[in-house]
Amino acid sequence: MKYLLILITCFTINFVNAQQIKIFKGDSTSDFDIAFTIDNGKVYHGNSTFSRLVYYTISDNKIYLGNSTSTFQCLYTIDDDKVYKGDSRFTSDLLYTVVNNRIYRGNFTSSDNCVLTYDDHKIYFGDSTFPSDVLFTLSQNAIISLTLLAAILGPY
């Protein structure tokens, strides 16, 4: 358990400097189907080599709107396996909880509240791993925290 917590913390804080991550639409891995590119703490629309439109900036376990790290632009705060709205860690601002490769709405981990499931570089809608429910596919070398994915790909 201690090893898992260390890994999650390292991925959440340091993943953005290690690699470029591509998130593809559906079950595709074609460059034509790139939904998001994460590179150096920035989340770009589509393939970052073609688009310089920054959707989000990731810094210090926070996700900011656009190319900013201003407190006023803070959309989400990541704390261990939880995603909070804005610059908050109050229970009333809890948006997502991640447990066993599943992302749940709020703090309730029942299958009714499961919004996304991660399995083998694929993100599925709800509590499913059926091929028809694939929403996104991550590049094969992607190492990313599910809390970060919940914030970027949400709301569901």
CATH number at residue 124: 2.40.160
- pTM for the model stands at 0.80
Q: Which residues pair with 115 in a beta bridge?
A: none
Number of structural domains found in the chain: 1
What would the pLDDT profile of 100-118 be if each residue is shown by its tens digit?
999 999 988 888 889 999 9
What would the pLDDT profile of 5-51 be if each residue is shown by its tens digit?
333 444 444 444 457 899 999 999 988 899 999 998 999 988 876 66
| Domain around 78 | 2-153
Identify the pLDDT of residue 155: 65
